[in-house]
Amino acid sequence: MDLLDAIRRDVLKQKEEEAMNYFSTVADFREFIMAAKPTPDVSVTVKMTCWTSERIEGDHGTRVTLIDANQHAFYETTVESLNELTSVKRKPYIAQITVWDAKANKAARGVSGKPFMLFRPGA
């Protein structure tokens, strides 16, 4: 029973983290990371606009580049402006998140060998 109680406590902690650590802007997300220095097991929730996504070499995950959620309505203009910046000057305006695949086997993939989760620019 102690094991079940420990698991339930961790589930509640995870849900609390997901609710508290909710971000829709790159600046807020970066501030949280710098201030809290979260460990790898800390859960966060982001609701942002996808700028780009790419499969990681080795095909074990996807790197998603995000911009503020409120830029969704101005996606094309924002992307044009970001493309005019050098990669270093662009950093404060973007967040990159790596979404690792659950398993590197065919059961965790779609029929065509692509991951089930797809990220669309502008979405």
When pLDDT is cut at 50, 70 and 90, the band that residue 44 belongs to is confident
The reported pLDDT for the residue numbered 78 is 95
Question: HSE on the CB side for 24, CA within 13 Å?
Answer: 5
The residue written with tokens 């779609």 in the block is: 110
Please give the Cα distance from 121 to 123 (Å, whole number).
Answer: 6
Please give the Cα distance from 32 to 3 (Å, whole number).
Answer: 31
Give pLDDT tens digits for 68-80.
999 999 999 999 9
**pTM exceeds cut of 0.85:** no
CB 52 within 8 A of CB 82: no
What mean pLDDT comes out for the span 19-36?
Answer: 93
